[in-house]
């Protein structure tokens, strides 16, 4: 067992030097344990050990909402992300040697991470002794943060604000009289499969082996179960992708669940994603060859790889969530704690709580209600209860957003519509939107797609022109504004808004 050398800082007032509130904020359902692992431990401490130019601080306010679910507000200093991005962009002017070395390190760490997951899939955690159960927890945790230390560098390529840096960079490198809109669309179109694309592509292969038609899902399911080739293929698919709908929680999908996903492919006549990505790649290479600009070519290639790193960092997390739930449920049984209790502990505390039974229930209960975590390359600190109110004031981190009637962001898919706002932070908490509904969220992920298809417009706080919301909105032809920073804080359910996705402006009408 490796010694944990990351220091617990002495209690002191945390007041960031960010008076203009230039943050990349991530707001979504989550737990203290995981945001400490991903943001603080991997994204600050481990990153700076390997890359001294990395991000210098991370902050997160975490609390229990009215529904009893846990939410977090994670904050990167946008100025630090911009600084790191400029390093990558300037290094890419001549060649990609600097980036390629980093990318190869991430590929190795990511592969090692997934090998540990494959080993863990064969383990019955309920049969392990306490020490062995803890050792598996630590092994999985450390494998995840090793890929995360490089994977989090990809956040420097995100965009927050009224302009998208990548679109502007592309436009600045194009010859005169170029069709700027068309060129940006071609050069930012996805050419590398995301982990959810990979699942859909594999499922599409099963679909192509089926020729019959069915009146409803039950008939389709019965047909599959009687098919000697298709059902074993679907069972194999389920064994490979059972974790695909995980997030900061764990849900195990079975063959019947993938049969439903397969049935939806038939109903919606979904295109062959492999062919779409291949065509995007060909069009991109053709245009880059025509432009003949080495710097632009390098930045586009780097952007694709950064997007892939960010996507697979998420993939590593959703797979880790499966094992974490299994292990924490077992630990909770043996220590008379709840799963929520363990989710609100951090890595350096788990061994003391589980192996030594050093439990401060009052402190854990206070954390579930509300907590704050901060970390820099030297150390970290967690506040809850009275310490939180004393040492971390939200007013130092968030601007006063009262009386704001207009917000701005980056146009991702053009259009002008009016509709009623629906704020969705967890796509699993809602199954449908009403008519003329504008979907507002911090950041879309694959589980948001069914809701995105129902919306008349989409507004996000995060994202750049290559983010999930931008790509899907363009595919669906739904007006979309991304990178607004404050949409979920300014807007409320039921607000009537005008979404001008031609200019990236959202106005409150009532």
pLDDT digits (tens, 9 = 90+) for 83-138: 999 999 999 999 999 999 999 999 999 999 999 999 999 999 999 999 999 999 99
* In contact, 80 and 390? CB cutoff 8 Å: no
| Among 494, 472, 461, 419, residue whose Cα is nearest residue 23 | 461
Give pLDDT, residue 1.
39
From the options 3.50.30.10, 1.20.1050.10, 3.20.20.80, 3.40.50.720, give the CATH code of 406-508: 3.50.30.10
| Alpha-carbon gap, residue 407 to 491, rounded angstroms | 9
| Alpha-carbon gap, residue 484 to 489, rounded angstroms | 10
Q: Which residues pair with 7 in a beta bridge?
A: 379
Burial class of residue 69 (count of CB atoms within 10 Å of its CB; 0-12, 13-18, 19+): middle
Give pLDDT, residue 462.
81
Render pLDDT for 395-430 as a digit per residue (tens, 0 to 9).
999 988 888 889 988 888 889 999 999 998 887 778
Q: What is the pTM of this model?
A: 0.90
Please identify which residue in the block is written with the tokens 């064969």: 122
DSSP H/E element including 500: strand 496-500
Kindly list the averaged pLDDT for each block of 10 residues, start to end, along the chain of length 510.
78 93 87 95 97 97 79 93 96 97 97 97 97 98 96 89 84 90 91 92 90 85 91 96 84 92 84 91 96 97 95 94 96 95 96 96 94 96 95 92 86 90 84 88 84 91 82 88 88 92 89
* In contact, 199 and 244? CB cutoff 8 Å: yes
Strands 70-77 and 58-64 come out as antiparallel
**Longest CA–CA separation in the chain, Å:** 70
Structure tokens at 106: 């991430």
| Alpha-carbon gap, residue 215 to 194, rounded angstroms | 32
| Alpha-carbon gap, residue 314 to 105, rounded angstroms | 17
| Alpha-carbon gap, residue 331 to 152, rounded angstroms | 29
| Alpha-carbon gap, residue 357 to 292, rounded angstroms | 64
Render pLDDT for 209-257 as a digit per residue (tens, 0 to 9).
887 778 899 999 999 999 889 999 999 999 999 999 887 677 899 999 9
In DSSP notation, 324-391 reads HHHHHHHHHHHHT--HHHHHTS-HHHHHHHHTS----HHHHHHHHHEEEEEE-SSEEEEEEHHHHHHH
Residue 172's CB is within 10 A of a number of other CB atoms, namely 9
Give pLDDT, residue 177.
82
Structure tokens at 473: 């909105």
């Amino acid at each position: 067992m490796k010694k944990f050398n990351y220091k617990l800082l002495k209690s002191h007032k945390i007041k960031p030097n960010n008076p203009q509130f230039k943050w990349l904020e991530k707001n979504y359902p989550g737990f203290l344990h995981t945001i400490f692992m991903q943001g603080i431990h991997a994204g600050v401490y481990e990153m700076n050990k390997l890359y001294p130019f990395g991000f210098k601080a991370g902050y997160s306010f975490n609390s229990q909402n009215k529904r009893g679910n846990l939410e977090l507000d994670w904050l990167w200093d946008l100025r630090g992300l911009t600084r790191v991005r400029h390093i990558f962009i300037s290094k890419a002017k001549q060649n990609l040697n600097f980036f390629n070395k980093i990318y190869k390190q991430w590929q190795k760490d990511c592969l090692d991470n997934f090998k540990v997951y494959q080993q863990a899939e064969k383990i019955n955690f309920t049969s392990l002794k306490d020490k062995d159960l803890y050792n598996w927890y630590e092994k999985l945790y450390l494998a995840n943060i090793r890929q995360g230390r490089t994977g989090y560098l990809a956040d420097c390529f995100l965009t927050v604000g009224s302009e998208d840096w990548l679109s502007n960079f592309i436009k600045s490198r194009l010859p005169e009289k170029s069709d700027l809109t068309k060129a940006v669309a071609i050069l930012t179109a996805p050419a590398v499969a995301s982990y959810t694309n990979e699942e859909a592509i594999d499922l599409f292969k099963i679909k192509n082996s089926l020729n019959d038609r069915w009146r409803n899902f039950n008939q389709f399911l019965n047909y599959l179960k009687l098919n000697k080739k298709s059902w074993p293929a679907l069972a194999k698919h389920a064994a490979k992708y059972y974790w695909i709908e995980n997030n900061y929680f764990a849900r195990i999908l079975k063959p019947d669940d993938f049969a439903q996903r397969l049935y939806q492919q038939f109903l919606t006549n979904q295109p062959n994603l492999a062919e779409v990505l291949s065509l995007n790649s060909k069009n991109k290479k053709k245009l880059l060859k025509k432009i003949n600009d080495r710097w632009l070519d390098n930045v586009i290639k780097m952007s694709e790889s950064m997007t892939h790193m960010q996507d697979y960092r998420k993939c590593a997390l959703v797979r880790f969530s499966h094992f974490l739930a299994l292990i924490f449920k077992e630990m909770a049984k043996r220590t008379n704690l709840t799963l929520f209790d363990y989710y609100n502990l951090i890595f350096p505390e788990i061994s003391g709580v589980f192996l030594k039974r050093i439990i401060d229930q009052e402190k854990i209960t206070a954390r579930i209600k509300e907590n704050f975590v901060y970390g820099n390359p030297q150390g970290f600190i967690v506040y809850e209860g009275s310490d939180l109110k004393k040492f971390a004031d939200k007013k130092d981190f968030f601007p006063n957003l009262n009386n704001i009637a207009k917000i701005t962001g980056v146009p991702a898919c053009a259009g002008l519509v009016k509709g009623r706002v629906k704020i969705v932070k967890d796509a699993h908490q809602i199954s449908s939107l009403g008519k003329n509904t504008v979907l507002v969220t911090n950041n879309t992920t694959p589980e948001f797609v069914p809701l995105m298809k129902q919306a008349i417009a989409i507004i996000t706080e995060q994202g750049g022109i290559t983010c999930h919301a931008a790509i899907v909105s363009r595919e669906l032809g739904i007006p979309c504004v991304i990178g607004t920073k404050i949409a979920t804080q300014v807007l409320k359910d039921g607000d009537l808004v005008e979404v001008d996705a031609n200019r990236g402006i959202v106005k409150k009408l009532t």
